[in-house]
Amino acid sequence: MTSHGPAHAHADVLIADCGDSALVAKAVGLDTEAAWRLVHALADALDAVRLPGVHDVVPAYDALLVEFDCTATDHATVRRVLAHEAARLGPDPAPTTPPRRFLVPVVYGGEHGPDLPTVAAQLGLAESEVVALHSGADLTVRCLGAPAGAPMTDGPAFPRPVPRLASPRTRVDPGSVAVAGRQAVICPMPSPGGWPLLGRTPVRVLDLHSDPITAYRPGDIFRFRPITPDQWDDYADLPLAHCADSADQAGLAACHG
Amino acid sequence: MADTLTIRTPGIATVQDLGRVGRSRYGLPANGAVDQHSARVANVLCGNDEHAPLLEITALDFACVPSADILVAVTGAPADVTVAGVPHPQWEPVPVRAGETLRVTGIRHGLRVYLAVLGSFEAARLQGSCAPDTILGFGPPLREGDELALRASCPPVDHPYSRIPLFRLNAPVPPFPTTVPTTWTIDVTDGPDRAEFGDTGRRLFDAPFTVSPQSNHIGLRLHGSTVPRRVTQGELLSRGVPIGAVEVPAGDELLVLHRGRGVTAGYPVLAVVTATGLSALGQVRPGQTVRFRHRTLDQAVTAHRTQRSAVAALRTRVRTAFDSLRIRAPLGG
C-alpha cells in the first residue's frame, strides 16, 4: 500500500500521516534556523501550487501541517506534491519575500507589565536591564500561533529561559507583551495565558477586517521600543501596519514618536 | 421591508456555517458547526449551498417565528420539533407558515441541533465565514427578539393527502446512542506521535472515557481510569495540530481538539479523530462516555467519502422533490 505507508524521508523532509484530513511534514537533519526556513518555504510553495482539496497550511518551527479535504484529494497526492516541492527547494531555500521590520512601542512594567519585577528577580537582573534586553535587539517572528495570529518571536538574549507562571491568568489584555522559555509574543486578543507579562503595546496588533488579519508574517522582525505610560494615548489603537519600518512617512512618524 | 425570522426562545443558539477555511496560517481556528455532517444535511434538505448560514442550537429549548412562509429542516440530536404545536419530523424539509411558531424542544441523546431555512438568511461575515469565534469576540449568541433577514420565502406547499408526510427523502441520519449510560463509539487513526507512547498507547482503546463539563467547541476533556503515557523525553516544539488531535497533557485527562482549537500546540498527538468521528464527537454531552475505536487511514477515508456521497445523493433527491413541487431553491446546488 503505497498511499498510506509509513513516514518516509525525502530530501530533508519526513512526511507523516496526521489523521484522515492532514499530513505533517517535518524538517530533519537541519539546524533550527534551516529547519524553520525550509518549512516556511514549503508552506509558500504549497500555497502557490493551489493543489485542489488542500485548504490550510500551518508552518511553525520544524514542522508544516497540511490540511485537506480527503473527499477532494488523497494522502498520496498531497505527499507526492510535498515531496516534490521539498526536493525542488533543497535544504536551504531563500526566503520568498524580504523581511519587514516593525517598531513596536511598549509601556513596560506597572499595570501593563505586572510580571516585570518577578522576571527580573528570576534572571538576577534589574528591571531596566530586562527592558534593555527585550527592546535592544531585533526579534524574528517565527510563526503565528494561538490565539488568533499571535506573533511568536525569538526571545531576547536573557541569561536563561524564563519560567511560565505557576498559575495562568484567566485573562490577558490585548497587546500584552510576554516572554516564556526562550520565546516572546504579543497577545493580540484578550485570552487566558500562562506567560509572564513584561509590558503592553497600545497599538492594534490585528486587523480583523483585512485579509490576512496580520500585517506581519513569519520572517519579519519586531523591535520593541520603550515608551512612557503618558505616551500611551499617542499610539492607542494605531494599526500595527503603521509601525512598519518601511511604511509611509506618517506611520513612521507616529511610531518614532 | 425584508422578511425576518424572529427568535422567541434563544436557548443557546448561534448563527453558524461550516467554518473559516484557509486562515490557519494566520493563526485563525476553523470553527464552524461542531457536527459538520448534521449541518451539511440541514442545508442540503433546504436546497441550499452546504456552506450557507444556518442555526446551531445547543442543548436548550428554542423557538422562532417567520414573517413569511418558509421551508426549514432540523437535523442533529433527537428533539421534538413542532410547528404551531403540530409535531414534525427531523431530517426532512418542513413548511412553516408566516406567523407560526417553530419550536425545537427536549434535545436528547446528543447535544446540538441544526436548523436551516430554504434560501438561508443574512449573516455578518468575518474572514469569509459567519462562524462564531469566541477568541475574536465574533458571532454572539442569539437573544430573544433578534431578527434574521430571510433571503427567500417559500410558497406554502400543500399536500393533497393530509396525514401523510410531505417528504420522505431518506437523509443519512447518523446513530445517536440511546442506552443509559450513554456510550459513543468514536473512530480514530494513529497520530503522528503514536510511537512516543509505546505500549501505553493501547490504553486509549482499553476502557471508556468520560466527557468532562469543561468541554466545548475548542476541545473536549475526557477522564479515564488508565490514560496513555508518553514514554519519551524532551520538549516538543510548538507545531500545527489538526482538528481531532488527541493530546495527553498530564494527569488522568485526555484533550481532544475540536473546530475552535488554536492552530498550534506543543503536546504529542497520540491519535486523530476521523472526520466522521468529529461530527459524532460534536454531539457528545458532558457526562456521557466515549469508547475510541482504532481505524486504519483507509477505513477512515472510506467512511468519510461514503458519508459525503450519501449527502450528494440526498442533494439529487431534494432537487427532484423540489422540482416536482415547484419549489425553487434560491442558492441552487
Contact criterion met (CB below 8 Å) for B301 and A74: yes
Any bridge partners for residue A221, and if so which?
A101, A140
Domains of chain B: 4-174+308-325 (no CATH), 183-295 (2.40.100.10)
Query: Which chain A residue has its CA at the smallest distance from B263's CA?
Result: A146
Residue B1 has a pLDDT of 60
CA dist list (Å): B253 to B202, B219, B246, B256: 15, 12, 11, 10
Separation CA A179–CA A186 (nearest Å): 9
Q: Is A14 on the interface with B (CB under 8 A)?
A: no
Which secondary structure element, helix H or strand E, spans residue A135, and what is its range? helix A127-135
Contact criterion met (CB below 8 Å) for A162 and A155: yes
Separation CA A93–CA A90 (nearest Å): 6
pLDDT band at B155 (very low <50, low <70, confident <90, very high): confident
Which secondary structure element, helix H or strand E, spans residue B219, and what is its range? strand B219-223
Any bridge partners for residue A180, and if so which?
A183
Q: Is B25 on the interface with A (CB under 8 A)?
A: yes
Which secondary structure element, helix H or strand E, spans residue B265, and what is its range? strand B264-265
Query: Which chain B residue has its CA at the smallest distance from A145's CA?
Result: B27
Per-residue pLDDT for A251 more than 50? no
Q: What is the dihedral of CA B302, B304, B310, B314, to 10 degrees?
A: -160
Separation CA B137–CA A148 (nearest Å): 11
pTM, whole model, 2 decimals?
Answer: 0.92
Average pLDDT of A148-159? Answer: 93
Residue B251 has a pLDDT of 77
* ipTM reported for the complex, 2 dp: 0.95
Task: Give me the sign of the Cα torsion angle B212, B213, B214, B220.
Answer: positive
Rounded to a whole number of angstroms, the distance from the CA of A197 to the nearest CA of chain B is: 19
The predicted-structure confidence for A10-57, as pLDDT tens digits, reads as follows 458 999 999 999 999 999 999 999 999 999 999 999 999 999 999 999
Q: Is B237 on the interface with A (CB under 8 A)?
A: yes
Per-residue pLDDT for B167 more than 90? no
Which residues does chain A have within 8 Å of residue B260's beta carbon, measured at their own beta carbons? none
Contact criterion met (CB below 8 Å) for A81 and A57: no
Residue A246 has a pLDDT of 66
B202, HSE (Cβ side, Cα atoms, 13 Å): 2
Q: Is B134 on the interface with A (CB under 8 A)?
A: no
The predicted-structure confidence for A74-116, as pLDDT tens digits, reads as follows 999 999 999 999 999 988 888 778 899 999 999 999 999 999 9
Per-residue pLDDT for B210 more than 60? yes
